[in-house]
Structure 1
Amino acid sequence: MAGAGRKTRKHTVACHRQLLQAPGGSVSEAVLTARQRRVSLGAVIAATFGVGAFLGISMPLPSLILERWGVSAWLIGLNGAMPSFAVLVLGPFLAGVVKQVGARTAMLGGFLIASVSILLMPLLPDLGIWFVLRFLMGFGMAMPWLVGETWINAIAQDHNRARMVGLYTAVLFLGMAVGPLVLQATDVTGFAPFLLGVGALMLAALPLIAAWHLIPPIDHAPSMRLAQVIRQAPTVAGAALIAGLSESTFYFLLPVYGLRTGLEQGSALTLLSVLIVGGIVLQYPIGWIADRMDRRRLLIAMAVVATLATPLVALAGVVAWASWPVLFLLGGLSLGYYGVGLALLGARFGPGDLAVANAAFIVLYEGGSFVGPTLAGTAMDLWNPHGYLVFLAVTSIAYALLALYRTARAP
């Protein structure tokens, strides 16, 4: 047993040194200290707030302006889907791009592409051009997204991995919640909100520059492709898919569901606010639990609870506040799929395949985000309005059954 312990410690040190391998091929002799690890994780999590603020500004801003132009709703929705479409199209190549240019260049280059894209929008007020610019914006933000999550999984240790991912997710969505508040305080027809979006990315870049020497290189040659990642880890893949599906379905259609149950617009929007607050507040507690139990079993439990809780959202049609505790919980669960799934991914794949595995995770998440609202909206039209809840409950139990099957087959 003592010999095995020594071998494990030697293997751990070897892995840390492999992680610190520089792009030129030299290997740092120093293993990250506990303080360096904290600083590195703190930098990427702090940067995430700026990224979230940018997304919170850039996602609704063009849609609000297009509405003022009198553009039809379906075209506004299609334009808003361009960033997700960019990730779906270019996602399989992201890991290769990051490997070629390096983690640092990929993150800051992505910020630059997104900044130029959003600055060109008020200068080129044309719907067709905005489709191209939002596609480029999606590509630009995909690179820091991939590098940031790979960074966290590379630096975090397994005993606190889920908590770090939960904290990262909570900070991201806190930034996204701030974005619309910024828009409320500015004139969306002017240049100011676009400049504020760029300012958010500059804010995100500051902690990364401060921790420049602690960014882990992502230059290992992967041994698998995206399809192999999905086949080898279907529970992780399913977590990404249902995270994107449930989040987008809630964010896009929950207020519509509230209106169709008879709520006024303010009360319907409050339902979404409660859901978002639950998503932010519950991420660290869910991560704490995930660091203390089998993460696959936790995902199963989360999906079962979501299945049972979703029909209770119908209480909103009776008394709006009666559904708030349920929505608070569902907000935490829908966002928690992503965090726990990402932590499971980090523990499942080694340094060589971490970037390509994370790219697969992101593509599946965006795939769920792309199809979720359309399918849920169709269900709502078929049984107005409660088909929406049926769709969410069915997808939750389907994922629970998948994860249960995979867990039962695991050695």
Structure 2
Amino acid sequence: MSQVFKSAWALLLGMLLLMIGNGFQGTLLGVRGEIEGFSTFEMSIIMSAYFAGFLGGSRLAPEMIRRVGHVRVFAALGSFISAVLILFPVLTDPISWTIGRLVLGFCFSGVYVTAESWLNNAASNENRGQALSLYMVTQTLGIIAAQGLLLTADPSGFVLFVIPSVLVSISFAPILLSISPTPAFETTERMTLRQVMKVSPLGSVGMFLLGGVFAAQYGMAAVYGAMAGLSLPQISMFVAAFYIGATALQFPLGWVSDRMDRRRLIMLASLVGAIGAFIGTVVGGSFPLLILAALLVGGTANPLYSLLMAYTNDFLEHDQMAAASAGMMFINGVGAISGPIVVGVIMETFGPAGYFGMICVLLMVLAGYALYRMTQRRAPNSDESTPYAPVMPTSTSVAVEVAQEVSWEAQEQADSEAETAPQ
């Protein structure tokens, strides 16, 4: 692990700064929107725009990179990100913020694709799995650390918008000055949505529902906190709790998933997340219980993303997995776009309790559908299952494909050692 960090520290440092900037701007906008008097529905449209841009970027960025190269795409998109972050406190109206979030989603998607392909190229076959693990930890730590920045200045002023802009600008220096040569980039063939849904109905439905859950968590948590009357320190801790839970449970749930029927684990994890959301719905006045609710929702919803990917891969050949993962991510992106809008309407109708209420309903539907699918198809045998590949919902198709490849190679090596071991 130390060797991986030594060779890729500049890239990881750059990504840490990027994730701090990105994680901070979402929380800051949620708080500033309340100060500006934006309605909950207006904020939901603004937050949804990021996921629409991210989805568009994930489709177009690979072609941009193929045409003009990693460095140009990386530098151009980074410049747009830094500029947009500065414009938010200047153009304080819902339409401008919606356009800004759309641009940010598109640009961050392209930046992540570029950085992840660089990381993959910098790693060797022997340490690629460790590099990916470090990358995911860096992503999560960046989002968690970002929440503390909310306490450094007045959110009604200009300073807090300068901080993420500066962090994003600085982040490109270690990456661009240390990465050489630029890797070759190949676009991935895609399966049609009909093909993906036919291969794994549970994976497809689950990804759509989970997109709504994750978007509510990533885009609307700060809006909920402001609407519920939480203080700035409480909003900071509340948003961070989702990602602390995700970090704590990602690998334990992955270990369990390789040893039992994944549909059963998907159902159980969804139920635990739904219980956490129910707690948040009925005890919104108790901050400690709100933190518990966020830990449970984040700790189950984020690993469920990887679980659904792994379950879908159980019914695919190895050379089909990359194409299927692209389709699954598109389905998740569609759910993510609609998630903030739906939760915004519900919160305007039923108040802050509607935030956790919608998450509870989505996770209960996922648990129920997983139970139903258990009656429609037998579980794959243990020797038919593909290994769990831990990835974050914030990752692009590059990281997902690398994670799948690493897990597949690890499984093949373990099978080979088992076959050659003395009986």
1:223 to 183, 186, 189: 189
Q: Is the 8 A contact 1:299 1:400 kept in 2?
A: yes
What is the letter of the counterpart of residue 273 of structure 2?
A
- Aligned-pair CA distance for 1:336: 1.9
- 1:8-407 mapped onto 2 (5 Å cutoff): 45-62=12-29, 64-65=31-32, 68-121=35-88, 128-148=95-115, 168-188=135-155, 192-209=159-176, 212-213=179-180, 216-220=183-187, 222-225=188-191, 227=193, 230-231=196-197, 232=199, 236-238=203-205, 240-250=207-217, 265-266=230-231, 269=235, 272-287=239-254, 289=256, 298-313=265-280, 316=283, 321=288, 324-325=291-292, 327-341=294-308, 354=322, 360-376=327-343, 391-400=358-367, 402=369, 405=373
- Aligned-pair CA distance for 1:143: 0.8
- Aligned-pair CA distance for 1:74: 3.5
- Aligned-pair CA distance for 1:224: 2.5
Between the aligned partners of 1:259 and 1:195, the Cα distance in structure 2 is 21
Distance 1:239 1:55, change over 3 A: farther
Between the aligned partners of 1:353 and 1:323, the Cα distance in structure 2 is 38
- Aligned-pair CA distance for 1:333: 1.0
Between the aligned partners of 2:281 and 2:125, the Cα distance in structure 1 is 41
Between the aligned partners of 1:235 and 1:286, the Cα distance in structure 2 is 18
- Aligned-pair CA distance for 1:378: 5.3
Between the aligned partners of 2:217 and 2:313, the Cα distance in structure 1 is 27
Structure 1's unaligned 5+ residue stretches are 1-33
Distance 1:166 1:248, change over 3 A: farther
- Aligned-pair CA distance for 1:140: 0.8
Between the aligned partners of 1:127 and 1:274, the Cα distance in structure 2 is 28
Between the aligned partners of 2:312 and 2:113, the Cα distance in structure 1 is 13
Give TM-score, length-normalised by structure 2. Answer: 0.65
Distance 1:92 1:85, change over 3 A: same
Between the aligned partners of 1:304 and 1:218, the Cα distance in structure 2 is 40
Say what the alpha-carbon RMSD is for the aligned residues.
4.8
Indicate the percent of aligned positions where both proteins have the same amino acid. Answer: 20
Between the aligned partners of 1:72 and 1:390, the Cα distance in structure 2 is 19
Structure 2's unaligned 5+ residue stretches are 385-423
Residue 390 (structure 2) aligns with = none
Q: Deviations over 1:266-324 (max 9, x none)?
A: 59746555444323433344455557777666444422433455434456368653565
Q: Is the 8 A contact 1:258 1:317 kept in 2?
A: no
SS at match of 1:186: coil
Residue 408 (structure 1) aligns with = 378
Q: Deviations over 1:144-184 (max 9, x none)?
A: 233455667786979995x8766544432332233343243
SS at match of 2:184: coil
SS at match of 2:283: helix
Between the aligned partners of 2:378 and 2:319, the Cα distance in structure 1 is 27
Q: Is the 8 A contact 2:48 2:340 kept in 1?
A: no
Between the aligned partners of 2:37 and 2:291, the Cα distance in structure 1 is 35
Q: Is the 8 A contact 2:27 2:221 kept in 1?
A: no
